[in-house]
Amino acid sequence: MTTPLAVLDLVPVSAGSTSAEALRNAVDLAQHAEQAGYSRYWLAEHHLNPGVAGSAPNIVIGAIAAATSSIRVGSAATLVGNQRALQIAETFGTLTGLYGPRFDLGLGRSGAPAPGAARAPSLTPRADEVVDGLLIPAPFDFTIAPNSRFALQGALLGRVPGDVDGFAGEVDLIRDFLAGTFTRDGEVVEATPADGADVELWVHGSTGGESARIAGALGLPYGANYHTSPGTVLASVAAYRSAFRPGVLAAPHVIVSADVVVADTAAEAARIGAGYDTWVYSIRSGVGAVPYPSPEDAAAHPLEAPAAASVADRVATRFVGAPEQVVAGLETLRRATGADELLVTTITHAHEARVRSYELLAAAWAARAAAAPAAHAHA
């Protein structure tokens, strides 16, 4: 069977555009993705970023569900701690009640650890390596600076160091609310309209740490991030599979994310994708994602060497090129990680180029799948 492709949309704002236009573009892209055959359309949660309009993904999910008919819609991820379990369960129960059972609730563990907390083993420093043809760069150990947008976001959302330790308990609460099994003083308490809602629950993680362990222990499907943390993706997947016990699922199920830009030629793909290094640097440096630059501005203002080095892992692991090149790269990613699904995120300055990239990839991926049985039959 063909490995399904899904879409991860950050709702990027292009330089010279507005957040309102970015939100309308998300709805338009979802409609094109459904027509192209993508299996899921997921939204990410980011706050205080001038270049990202996806700060309220649960609202955008509803707008996309209203504009589509069959594609599964969801979050990757809803960040536990920014909202409480009851609110999250009620929101997805409401969406299911309005639009039917096609929602994926992806949960993410985000926030500052308690002082002295152990870091994930997968963040141990090491050199770049290539595993089964896939580049696994040295892990990037992200530290939240006190004056960064990340720190301000945490303060405004009421986050405190160590509150990520409550992630497992919040996941359990969400499961209870959706199953209608939450009790207080021996009595079942219904969380209408979450009670009994047919929502597919996922856990997303970037390292071989707590998220991977929890997803595996509960037998839930797991999302591993190659696009944001390429250096830890194999450790993340391995930790999930090692911890897996039959639960919701009988066997492990992994979706792996990737940054992708496709155009008719490799040169055109490189041109329309230019500016990515500057955009990633704006996030990692703590100032917040800048509006995505135009190819002309990116060419006129290249990222300087020290800054470029700090995002080299992300640039080197982005799949950019003509359709056949990107398909080959994604097949390597699938093989090396054992992914059951692939989650593609594409950012370009022009919305039309982004739509075209997804359409070209879907067509090339389907053609590859169709050609495989024929090649096998003639072997």
Please return the burial class of 202, using the count of CB atoms within 10 Å of its CB with bins 0-12, 13-18 and 19+.
buried
pLDDT higher than threshold 90 for residue 111: no
pLDDT higher than threshold 60 for residue 202: yes
The pLDDT tens digits of the residues spanning 144-195 come to 767 788 889 999 999 998 999 999 999 999 999 999 999 999 999 999 999 9
Averaged over 34-46, what is the pLDDT? 97
| Amino acid symbol at 197 | A
Averaged over 198-210, what is the pLDDT? 96
The pLDDT tens digits of the residues spanning 275-302 come to 999 999 999 998 999 999 999 999 999 9
Averaged over 204-215, what is the pLDDT? 96
Residue 115 binned pLDDT confidence (cut-offs 50, 70, 90): confident
Spatial distance between the Cα atoms of 67 and 81, rounded to a whole number of angstroms: 29
User: Residues 216-239, buried b or exposed e (16+ Cβ, 10 A)?
Assistant: bebbbbbbbbbbbbbbbbbbbbbb
Spatial distance between the Cα atoms of 236 and 229, rounded to a whole number of angstroms: 10
Q: Are 106 and 202 in contact (CB under 8 A)?
A: yes
Q: Are 135 and 80 in contact (CB under 8 A)?
A: no
- Of residues 160 and 64, more confidence is placed in 64
Place of tokens 């991926």: 365
Tell me what pLDDT residue 376 has: 54
Cis amide bond preceding 77, omega within 30: yes
Strand pairing report for 319-321 and 222-225: unpaired
Tell me what pLDDT residue 377 has: 54
The pLDDT tens digits of the residues spanning 189-198 come to 999 999 999 9
**% residues pLDDT > 90 (the chain):** 87
374: Cβ–Cβ under 8 A, 6 or more apart, which residues?
none
Which two structure tokens, joined as six digits, stand for 44? 């990410």
Name the least confident of 57-71, 120-134, 266-280, 288-302.
Answer: 120-134
Tell me what pLDDT residue 120 has: 75
Which two structure tokens, joined as six digits, stand for 163? 């509150």
Residue 374 binned pLDDT confidence (cut-offs 50, 70, 90): low
pLDDT higher than threshold 90 for residue 205: yes
Spatial distance between the Cα atoms of 232 and 207, rounded to a whole number of angstroms: 5
Averaged over 239-264, what is the pLDDT? 98
Name the least confident of 39-53, 68-82, 144-158, 230-244.
Answer: 144-158
Average pLDDT value over all residues in the chain: 94
Give the residue among 322, 339, 84, 107 at the shortest CA–CA distance from 233: 339
